[in-house]
Chain A
C-alpha cells in the first residue's frame, strides 16, 4: 500500500515552520473489485487445490500394520516420529526434514528467479486465505462499489446483518483452519471427536484457538499489510530477481501518455492507457502498477486480467500490463523511443521483443543446488537402515580388575529397531581374542556371542560386560568392533569402540 503524502515544500514559504512530520500512517482500506480472466482462474485453481490438500490430507489413511499409526501424514511430536506416507522419520534423521526445507527454499528461489513473485501471488497461505475471505466478502457485501457504499452508509439493520454474517463465516473458516492444523500432529478421527466432545488436551485447544485467531485476523483484517509490513520475504526476494525474471509490469512505452479516450477518437499521438484505473481497483494490495515495480506488488496478475478486458473493449491489443521481463521492457522502450506515441509503437515493438532467457547463471545455480540436494535426499532415503547400534563405554570405572586378574569393561549398547516388530539380534565382539560377553538381565547367557532383544519401533538399551581373560596380555587400549547380527546371519549394524586395561 502506498501512502500518498501531500507535502510540497517548494510551495511553502522559506520562512514558514516545517510541516509536522507524521511518523504513523492510517490504514487505507483496500476494496478490490471483481475481475475475470486467465490469472483470476489460475488463482482460484491454486486456491481450490491447496485448500483441498490442506483440509483433506490428515484424513487420508495409510496402513502401516499393527501398533503404528495409519495416518498418511502425521507429525507425531509426542511419539517423536514423522510419518510421511512410506517414509518414517526418526529424531536422528531430522536432517531429512532439514533437506526438505532446503529443497523448498531453493525451489522458491528458482521459481522466483524465473517467474517472479508467483509464490506471493498464488501459493502463500496469506494470499490463499485472504483470497478466500475476499470471495466470501464479495458474496455477502457485493463488489467494490457496493462494499464502499455499505461502509460509508448508515449503520442500519442490513449493514449489521451483512457484517455479522460475513464475520461468522470468516470465523467458521478460521476455526476449520485451526482445527485442521492440529490434525497433522495427532490421529485425525480421534482428535476430531475429542475436540467436539471436549476431551482434547489443553494444547490442542490452544493451537486451534491460536490458528483460528491468526487466520481470522490476518486474512480478514490485516490482509495486504502482512505482506507490506510484516513479511520478510518481499524484502529479500529482490535478490532472486533480475532483468530476465517475469514480473507484472506496465508497458509504459505503449501506455504513455495516458488519458481518457472516447469511442471513435483516434489512437495516434497518445498511449493505449485510457486511465480507467481498473488495474488499481482490482489490486488486492491497492497499488498502481503503472508506478513501476513496487515492494507491495504480490505479482498475482489480476491487473493484467482487468487491463486485458479493457483493451478488448476499446479495441486495442492485449498486454498493456503483462508478465514481462525488465529486459524486454527496456528493449521495447529503446525500439520505440524514436517513434511518436500511437499504434505504430506496438507493431514496431513486436519485432523488437527480447525473448526471456530461461538459462542464466542464476537459474542454473538454483537448479543445480536443487538437483544436488534432491539427489542427496534420495540417497539418504534409499540407504536408510532400519537398525542402528550405538555403544557407549563406561568411564567410571574405565575398567574393572576381577579377583582372578581378568579385566572387564562395561558398555551401554543401544539398539535402534525401526521396524514394527520386536527382533532378536546376536551381539559379537571383534578384535579381542578370548573375550566373553554378558548382559544385565540375561547373566546366564555368557559367551563369545550373546542374544539381545530390541523392542519394536524403539530403542532398547542393554548393559553389556566384556571380560578379557587374565591370561590375555592386553595393551592399555585395544580397538574393538561390536557387530549386531540379525536373524539371517548378516551384519545389521556395527560400531567401533575400545577396550581399556590397566597399565602393566
Chain B
C-alpha cells in the first residue's frame, strides 16, 4: 500500500508512495485502454477455453464446445496427403520397374518413397543406408547379390522373402551342417581351398587336399571356382564380400554349422506401390544390376 505520496521536484509528478531503500517510484499512469486490452485478453481466454479442449477432469478432459481435436486435424491432413499422392502411386503401380528407373519424375518419387519405407521396414536388419550388419544381414549397397540384383529379382525377394514358412514362393536354400558329414580336418582343408579362390589361403597343401572335397560337396551350389550359383541361392566365395565373415575361423564355422538367415515376405504387409519403390530404391543404393 502507498505509504507516503510525494511530489517529485524534478518532474513535477507524484510518486506512487512505494519506496525501496530510498528508491522511489514515479507514478506514470498507464492509459486506460491498455488496461481494457488486458481485460479483453482475459475474456478471450475464457471464450477460448470454452470452445477448445481445456480443463482436465478425473476421467478425461473437457473437449470444448467446437469438438475440435488435433488428432482429427492430423488424420484429415494425412488423408489429404494420401489423396495428393494417389496419382503418383497409380503410375508407380502401373509402370514397369525399368520404366520407373528411366523416368526422372518417377525415379525421384520412388527414391523418396523408397527411402522412407526402407527406414521403416528394412533398416533394422540391412542398416539405415543398406550397409548390412555383421552376422548374416547382407549389404545391399555392394555389387554381390545372392539372389540377383536386377530390379525384378530385388522386387521378388522383397515380396516373398527368404527361407520363411509364411510364403510358399519364398527363396529357399539350405546348406547342410558339414560337422556331421566331414571330419574337422576335412572342413579345415575345404576352408583353405575356398580361401584360395580369393588368393588368401596360407596353407597350399591343405588347400590342395580340400579341392576334391569341395568338388564332391560344394560345387552344385557354389560353382566350380566359388563363383556362386544364383538359381539356388549359393553365394559367391571368390570375392572380397563375406556374409558371415572371411577369416578362416569364420569360414570353418560356416561350413561346420551354417547359419541361414531369414527374411519375411513383405507382400501383404506393404502395398504394391511401396514394394516397387523399395525395389527401385534398393537398386539405386549402388549395387543394382
Contacts and interface: CB of A to CB of B under 8 A. Distances in A.
B268 interface: no
A35 to B, nearest CB: 26
A5 interface: yes
B88 interface: no
B13 A5 contact: yes
Contact of B14 (A5, A400, A408): A5
A21 B5 contact: yes
A383 interface: no
Contact of A397 (B29, B107, B131): B131
A19 interface: yes
Q: Chain A interface: which size bin?
A: 35 or more
A21 B131 contact: no
Interface stretch (B141-149, B182-190, B201-209): B141-149
Nearest to B7: A9
Contacts of B241: 401-403
Central interface residue in A23, A25, A405, A408, by most chain B CB within 10 Å: A25
A5 B144 CA distance: 91
Interface of A is mostly: loop
Interface string B34-49: 1100000000000000
Nearest to A443: B288
Interface in B1-42: 2, 4-7, 13-14, 16-17, 27, 29-35
A403 B284 contact: no
B240 interface: yes
Interface string A461-493: 001010000100000000000000000000000
A9 B6 CA distance: 7
A478 B241 CA distance: 23
B240 A397 contact: no
Interface in A21-46: 21-27
Interface residues of B, number: 38
A248 B286 CA distance: 75
Nearest to B6: A9
B142 A23 contact: no
B29 A25 contact: yes
Interface string A191-233: 0000000000000000000000000000000000100010000
B32 A26 contact: yes
B89 to A, nearest CB: 21
Interface string B95-131: 0000001001001000100000000000000011111
A394 B27 contact: no
Given A396-B128, A396-B129, A397-B131, A402 B30 contact: no
Given A7-B14, A400-B286, A402-B142, A25 B5 contact: no
B114 to A, nearest CB: 12
Interface of A: 3, 5, 7-10, 18-19, 21-27, 225, 229, 394-397, 400-405, 408, 410, 440-441, 443, 463, 465, 470
Cβ-closest 9 pairs across A and B? A397-B131, A396-B129, A25-B29, A403-B239, A405-B240, A440-B284, A18-B5, A396-B128, A403-B144
6 contacts: A5-B14, A7-B5, A22-B29, A24-B32, A396-B127, A410-B286
